[in-house]
Chains A and B, each alone.
Chain A
């Protein structure tokens, strides 16, 4: 909302400068975006061209002598319309114009001490200007006083504050509303609006009727005026429209906009002769057609409210008029519409067609009293500035309550919610400044809220009013006193983040929305994806199920920037739907490629690196001895020989492995764990275990087995045979090559034996040792290697 200081000053006195006003308004909840002069240009005065001779070295420039009262200046001018006797706008040396600062200088050898200005050079937005404002210098009336400030002579001396209003304050989309707000702020009275006019002997009711067929129109007023003179508006109207961001057209159209700005009530003027004698308000029929005044054919639907004659629709209510009944240069008689339509429907229609100054106001809701005020004000101005003859009477349809709301409130309630201690008289004074009448009834204050404040309906709204006018920032912060209760936060995810970061991985944060094509990648799970109805792009139209596609993109992004060592992880949600129900699960994804090192010289990431990371994490989280890797059911994005499912107590919690070479030639290893599934498995209590006082015995053994036999199978047999005194098994060498068969490998184990209760004898250990060899050999067709 652009507020013209001059315009609002018609209705309230402003005791401060505009910048202070803007700041103070912000302090009561009406934030401003900018505060500036309508014409920021300086040093512009009225001059008279005394002499005008062609420039000796130019075919279009003129050398002029211009009287600016204090002196006579020589100015070189290139405008085609410059001539002796013309009253002009002179930018003196030092004048600041949008195009730059005016300086004294030489133009093709002739001294020039200023500039004669076209309207387009003063800094008005071009949409407000006509062609002649660009082609030539501005011609002032002959009686313009030489030497006077040109801006103030043109009535353009104004300041504009652009407010960003909150969506509940539709009432402030009007000069009157602003006047009340400023009045409350500075305790100034709001002046009355002039709505006087005389009426002729005819009565509109004799010649015009209304038929309101929809409940989405709650108030409709119509008045008729005759014999208007269509011409240019007076300067003050044009300038105020411009200051408010509306382009002047002609006096009649301008007056309808002017009154809308003043009262907040949008009006529509119909050419009475084209409209006929009956006006209908109804919902449009599906696929009904209407040519709007921008000359576009609109296909309507049942949610559009239309204004119609018995024959056809002639306007989209509250949004845009129709072409057939538009005010034209030859219009003589006018039907004025001032009405209230249902905000929701106006919103729907305006979203399709156009968000106009009018529709914005309808959408926010209107004050029915202003609906009356606006139509009267409109008649007043049309009589005054368009020579209109006002037909007496008004056609009126009303289907709403115009009663002012009465809301009870107590001083203690106000103070309790705000956390301050205001006295009753302070509160009553605030209501008085706001223009809210009050009645006291014991402890209660009964507040009458004017109909213009449609945003106020409950006591809390009144508390806010008191708070903001008193100064919400004057409230002093309190240290709350609440019962001591422990706050809770789940720390599992933090532990994972910290653990992985301590292992040298970088945490990422990526978008949940990915391309539909990628949602089923890196998984074999059976689910339906979750798509958004109105995506911003095809790349982000579906919620991810796995985080791995996101991490893969991060890898690609970094690779393109020559970053090759990428070890990253992210915790986020994966989404899916099943049987029309939506689900989301927390997931951890890891991607590792390039060099990785933890204290040793860097080496390239391989399967065992990422396996180590996953194991370290699961061990750290307390799942020792509870997880296995199983090489089955792998998605096609995984390398079939270097990937596995991660299984915890029989349930699959995730996957680990190398990305399939058909997707990328690089060696990239990924893992993903469903954290919701993982944390469903509770971790055992951590307790102290007795440390054995007796020495341990170490034995090494190596087996030659078929290459396909997994080491974990051998370990399992060793562990089972070894019993409780076998306290540790580690693999310290794996060999494939000349010394074993072609399809064979040798794996060397180091076993540690220890008893909690006694020193083990060599014989005891050897007995177990031999038993292990025997079992492994028998069960896995293995051969123990010579020591």
Chain B
């Protein structure tokens, strides 16, 4: 009897493919009109011994059926889930929902890098007006009216007194004047400058950054150390710096600063005109007259200043062949600068 029921039950189980069929099998054995109920329906007519026997049998069947059905339920559940997963499977190679990626201008990227570098060394980033006085742009930088150094900088004048600044150096004069406490100064000023000049390597508007440090006992060696770090940060860790004597009216001594060619590593290539070096910066010790005009006693204070073109750094870093591309704003140019820069951490 027991065996018959078990075999029949097993056959029923094997046929199950859905939740509904589980229910039907469950009812068949354990339901109100199920086999177990039927088995125990005439209990009252049985002897105590028989009652015991039937009761045991019924319990065994109930337990067995319940356990087996649970197993099947789990199996079916898994099958159903697999079917659903199968059905939900998509072609992941289809295109994504694109998020439009904007871009930041290469010039501005350079500005931010320069700012971050100097801020990390305790410099303040200072802004100055682009419409400047002749006094701040020239006279306070030791370039009086009629000075030959004005020749090199063809100036856009607005009136006899005001002009479009030709160099961010004008901010030197301002910063010294504005620091009425005459405390040490450590600042850079990135910004736009203007000169009457336009060709493949010159634009009438371009960017410069000026740096100024005024303190006690500042030396040319300090300037070199600072610029070496700066060059490594901007152009790569292996960059070397070379000083050549030069002349600027507002520094004395003055130096022209070359960096080893980052393209050929100094071996010589068309970019560095085979010399292995590229001129990138003008610098020097702040001229005593400039200190004096800024209200700093040159007997007590020394300082250094440097200035460099930002556009060129953008051209170097991104290998842009013509400065005018920076100002043309062709969307196909702009869109290229849409990701993070390569990392260049100096150790």
Instruction: Give the interface of A toward B (CB within 8 A).
Output: 26-29, 31, 166-169, 343-344, 347-348, 363-364, 416-420, 458, 460-461, 463-464, 467-468, 472-473, 475-480, 482-490, 494, 497-498, 500-513, 530-536, 540, 543, 554, 557-558, 561, 563, 565-568, 573, 575, 582, 584, 596-602
Fill in one digit per residue for B322-347: 1 if any A CB lies within 8 Å of its CB, else 0.
Answer: 00001111111011001000000000
Contact check, A511 vs B204: say whether CB atoms are below 8 A apart: yes
A532 to B166, CA, bound (A): 13
Q: Let me know if B222 and A478 touch, CB within 8 A.
A: yes
Asked whether, in the complex, the Cβ of A486 is within 8 Å of the Cβ of B122, the reply is yes
- Could you tell me if B122 and A485 are in contact, using CB atoms closer than 8 angstroms? yes
Interface membership of B47, Cβ < 8 A: no
Interface contact A530-B252, CB-CB below 8 Å = no
Separation of A418 and B220 alpha carbons in the complex (Å): 5
Cβ B330 vs Cβ A561 within 8 A: yes
Given contact pairs A29-B247, A344-B146, A509-B327, A533 touches B158 in the complex (Cβ within 8 A): yes
For residue B192, CB closer than 8 A to chain A, the reply is yes
B103 near A507 with CB under 8 A, answer yes
B-chain residues with CB within 8 Å of residue A598 when the two chains form the complex:
99-100
Question: Is B53 an interface residue, CB under 8 A from the partner?
Answer: no
CB A409 to nearest CB in B, in angstroms, measures: 13
A584: which of B131, B215, B256 is its contact (CB, 8 Å)?
A: B131
A558 touches B327 (CB 8 A): no
Residue of A nearest to B334 (CB): A506
Contact of A467 among B98, B225, B253 (CB under 8 A): B253
CB neighbours of B125 from chain A (8 A): 487-490
A637 to chain B, nearest CB (A): 20
Q: Contact at B245–A487, with CB atoms within 8 Å?
A: no
Task: Choose the segment among B11-19, B72-80, B111-119 that binds chain A (4+ C-beta atoms closer than 8 Å).
Answer: B111-119
Binds A, one of B32-40, B148-156, B173-181: B148-156
Kindly state the separation between the CA atoms of A561 and B285 in the bound complex, as whole angstroms: 49
List 8 tightest A-B contacts by C-beta distance, closest first. Answer: A419-B221, A419-B219, A504-B100, A29-B245, A464-B253, A166-B247, A487-B119, A477-B224
Q: Is B244 an interface residue (CB 8 A)?
A: yes
Q: How far is the CA of A381 from the CA of B104 in the complex (A)?
A: 67
CB <8 Å contact, B227 and A472: no
> What sequence of 0s and 1s flags, for each residue 82-108 of chain B, a beta carbon within 8 Å of any chain A beta carbon?
000000000000000111111111011
Using Cβ atoms and an 8 Å threshold, which residues of chain A touch B329? 508-510, 554, 557-558, 568
Q: Across the interface, do A513 and B194 meet the contact criterion of CB distance under 8 Å?
A: yes
B285 touching A478 by the CB < 8 A rule? no
Minimum CB–CB distance from B130 to chain A (whole Å) comes to 6
CB of B164 within 8 A of chain A?
A: yes
Given the known interface contacts A344-B146, A501-B104, A511-B327, the answer about A27 and B244 at a Cβ–Cβ threshold of 8 Å is: yes
Q: Is B27 an interface residue (CB 8 A)?
A: no
Pairwise interchain contact A487-B121, C-beta atoms closer than 8 A: yes
Q: How far is the CB of B120 from chain A (nearest CB, A)?
A: 7
- Interface hub of A463, A497, A582, A602 (most chain B Cβ within 10 A): A582
Give every chain B residue within 8 A of A31 (Cβ-Cβ).
244, 246, 256
Q: Is B9 an interface residue (CB 8 A)?
A: no
Binary CB contact string for chain B from 133 to 164 against chain A (1 if under 8 A, 0 otherwise): 00000000000011011011000111100101
Tell me the bound Cα distance from A460 to B291 in angstroms: 13
> In the complex the two chains form, is B131's CB within 8 Å of A29's CB?
no
Interfacial chain A residues near B219, Cβ < 8 Å: 416-419, 478
The answer to whether B331 touches A513 (Cβ under 8 A) is no
- Any chain A CB within 8 A of the CB of B226? yes
- The SS class assigned to the B binding surface is mixed
- Contact A167-B331, Cβ < 8 Å, known A418-B221, A475-B224: no
- Please state if B302 and A458 are interface contacts (CB–CB under 8 Å): no
Residues of A contacting B312 with CB < 8 Å? none
Q: Which residue of chain B has its CB nearest to the CB of A507?
A: B105
B288 on the A face (CB < 8 A):
yes
Inter-chain contacts of B67 with A (CB < 8 A):
none
CB distance from B181 to the nearest CB of A (A): 14
Residues of B within 8 A of A364 (CB): 148
* CB closest residue in chain A, given B196: A536
- Interface pairs (29), CB distance under 8 Å: A166-B246, A417-B219, A418-B253, A460-B253, A460-B285, A467-B253, A472-B255, A473-B243, A477-B226, A478-B221, A478-B222, A483-B122, A485-B186, A487-B118, A487-B125, A488-B119, A503-B102, A504-B101, A506-B334, A512-B194, A533-B158, A534-B156, A536-B196, A536-B204, A558-B330, A561-B332, A565-B331, A584-B130, A599-B99
**Bound-complex Cα distance A488 to B241 (A):** 27
Q: Does B239 contact A (CB under 8 A)?
A: no
Nearest CB to that of B326 among chain A residues? A509
A597 CB contact (under 8 Å) in B98, B227, B254: B98
Residue pair B243, A475 in contact (C-beta under 8 Å): yes
Distance A364 CA – B149 CA, assembled complex (angstroms): 10
Q: How far is the CB of A358 from chain B (nearest CB, A)?
A: 15
The residue of chain A having its C-beta at the shortest distance from the C-beta of B103 within the complex is A506
A348 and B148 CA atoms in complex are apart in Å by 11
Among B99, B118, B131, B198, contact of A530 (Cβ-Cβ < 8 Å): B131
Question: Contacts of A584 on B, CB cut-off 8 Å?
Answer: 129-131
List A contacts of B103 (CB < 8 A).
501, 506-507
List CB contacts (< 8 Å) of B163-214 with chain A. Answer: 164, 184, 186, 192, 194, 196, 198, 204-205, 213
Say yes or no: is B237 at the interface (Cβ < 8 Å to chain A).
no
Asked whether A458 and B288 contact (CB < 8 A) given A417-B220, A418-B219, A478-B222, the answer is yes
Complex Cα gap A408–B217 (Å): 19
A477–B220 alpha-carbon span in the complex (Å): 8
* Shortest distance from the beta carbon of B300 to any chain A beta carbon, whole Å: 12
Given contacts A460-B288, A472-B243, A512-B130, contact A507 B224 (CB under 8 A): no
- In whole angstroms, how far apart are the Cα atoms of A489 and B121 in the complex? 12
- The complex places the Cα of A536 from the Cα of B198 at a distance, in Å, of 9
Q: Tell me whether A502 and B102 are in contact in the complex, defined as CB-CB below 8 angstroms, given that A497-B108, A536-B198 are known contacts.
A: yes
- Which residues from A are CB-within-8-Å of B328? 557
Measured CB to CB, the nearest residue on chain B to A460 is: B252
Residues of B within 8 A of A480 (CB): 213, 218, 222, 225-226
Question: Given that A510-B329, A513-B205, A584-B130 are known contacts, is A567 also in contact with B247, CB under 8 Å in the complex?
Answer: no
Decide yes or no: A458 and B330 within 8 Å by CB, A477-B224, A513-B205, A530-B158 being known contacts. no
**CB atoms of A567 and B245 under 8 A apart:** no
Distance (Å) between the CB of B238 and the closest chain A CB?
15
Contact among A26, A419, A533 with B244 in the assembled complex (CB-CB below 8 Å): A26
B162 touches A582 (CB 8 A): yes
Contacts of B255 in A (CB 8 A): 472
How many angstroms from the CA of A543 to the CA of B145 in the assembled complex? 25
Give chain B residues whose Cβ lies under 8 Å from the Cβ of A478.
219, 221-222, 224-225
A507 to B247, Cβ gap below 8 A? Answer: no
Is there an interface contact between B157 and A532, defined as CB atoms closer than 8 Å? yes
Our pick among B99, B121, B194, B222 for the contact of A419 (Cβ within 8 Å) is: B222
- At the interface, yes or no: B233 with Cβ under 8 Å from chain A? no
Task: Assess the B256–A567 pair: CB atoms within 8 A.
Answer: no
> Is B313 in contact with chain A by the CB < 8 A criterion?
no
CB nearest to B245 among chain A residues: A29
Given contacts A168-B247, A416-B217, A460-B253, 4 further A-B contacts (CB under 8 A): A419-B224, A477-B224, A501-B101, A582-B158
B151 proximity list for chain A (CB < 8 A): 167
Question: Which has the most chain B C-beta neighbours within 10 Å: A490, A500, A507?
Answer: A507
Name the B residues within 8 Å of A488 (CB-CB).
119, 124-125
In the complex, what residue of chain B is closest to A463 when comparing beta carbons?
B253
Does chain A have a CB within 8 A of B316?
A: no
Interface centre among A483, A504, A506, A582 (most CB of B within 10 A): A506
Q: How far is the CA of A602 from the CA of B246 in the complex (A)?
A: 57
A interface footprint on B36-52 (CB within 8 Å = 1, 0 otherwise): 00000000000000000
Is there an interface contact between B97 and A600, defined as CB atoms closer than 8 Å?
yes
A476–B225 CA distance with the chains assembled, in angstroms:
8
> Closest CB of chain A to B215's CB: distance in Å?
6
- CA–CA, A540 to B197, complex, Å? 13
Specify which of B98, B123, B205, B246 is in contact with A511 (CB 8 Å cutoff): B205
Q: How close is A7's CB to chain B, nearest CB, in angstroms? A: 24
